[in-house]
């Protein structure tokens, strides 16, 4: 049965460490993903929130153009693209749509739709598009999407999302684990 998948982009389809080399270079620090214990990255650099936000705004296009894929993501997405609909729903700003589409093209990834919301609140989009399942790396998003939309949410484990999760949010370590869970879920539909 054909399903509509809602999929976050950054830290889910792209490697969660994509931004780290840029932070290390521009802020002259030497952090790894393990140092990132909160989703908001301001805590890893010695800057005010505003200074970091300014840097991020300037650096985003470059980071997104060059982001490596998360390990195993491509194989699984290629498998799904023929049988299901892939709706990518991201907090990136709408002005980044061209760069985002080019990245999908460059990585030979198919999409049915890309929506760049410019906000972390994905509930409305997930409801409007009537997605059947969601894939996320941001803890509060995952929990809210599950609770508000009553759909399963796959949460890709990272050092910054290790808070407790309710039933219905499924923590996975890899894309192949996600694929396995989805296969079982599809059988029960």
Which positions touch Mg ion (CB under 5 A)? 8, 10-11, 137
* Min separation Cβ 3 and Mg ion, Å: 21
* Min separation Cβ 148 and Mg ion, Å: 18
Q: Which is nearer to Mg ion, 52 or 64 (CB)?
A: 64
Identify the CA nearest to 66 among candidates 113, 37, 100: 100
* Min separation Cβ 2 and Mg ion, Å: 25
Q: Which is nearer to Mg ion, 11 or 152 (CB)?
A: 11
CA distance 5 to 2: 10
Instruction: With beta carbons less than 8 A apart as the criterion, state whether 160 and 35 touch.
Output: no
**Nearest residue relative to Mg ion (C-beta):** 11
Two tokens at 65? 């153009």
Q: Which is nearer to Mg ion, 66 or 183 (CB)?
A: 66
* Min separation Cβ 23 and Mg ion, Å: 16
Identify the CA nearest to 168 among candidates 183, 181, 177: 181
Identify the CA nearest to 33 among candidates 6, 49, 61, 14: 14
* Min separation Cβ 137 and Mg ion, Å: 4
Q: Which is nearer to Mg ion, 22 or 186 (CB)?
A: 22
Two tokens at 10? 């950054």
* Min separation Cβ 115 and Mg ion, Å: 14
Q: Which is nearer to Mg ion, 8 or 115 (CB)?
A: 8
Contacts made by residues 34-38, CB under 8 angstroms, sequence distance 24+ = 34/159, 35/159, 36/158, 36/159, 36/160, 37/159, 37/160, 38/160
133-136 vs 113-116, strand pairing mode: unpaired
Sign of CA dihedral 182, 106, 85, 127: positive
């Amino acid at each position: 049965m054909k399903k509509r998948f809602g999929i976050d982009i950054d830290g889910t389809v792209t490697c969660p460490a994509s931004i780290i080399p840029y932070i290390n270079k521009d802020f002259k620090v030497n952090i790894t993903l393990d140092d990132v214990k909160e989703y908001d990255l301001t805590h890893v650099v010695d800057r005010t929130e505003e200074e970091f936000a300014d840097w991020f705004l300037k650096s985003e296009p470059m980071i997104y153009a060059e982001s490596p894929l998360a390990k195993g993501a491509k194989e699984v997405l290629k498998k799904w693209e023929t049988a299901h609909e892939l709706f990518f729903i991201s907090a990136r700003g709408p002005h980044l749509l061209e760069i985002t589409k080019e990245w999908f093209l460059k990585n030979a990834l198919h999409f049915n739709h890309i929506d760049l919301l410019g906000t972390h609140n994905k509930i409305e989009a997930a409801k409007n598009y009537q997605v059947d399942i969601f894939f996320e790396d941001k803890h509060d998003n995952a929990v809210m999407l599950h609770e508000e939309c009553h759909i399963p949410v796959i949460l890709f484990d990272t050092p910054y999302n290790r808070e407790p999760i309710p039933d219905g949010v499924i923590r996975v370590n890899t894309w192949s684990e996600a694929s396995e869970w989805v296969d079982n879920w599809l059988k029960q539909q």
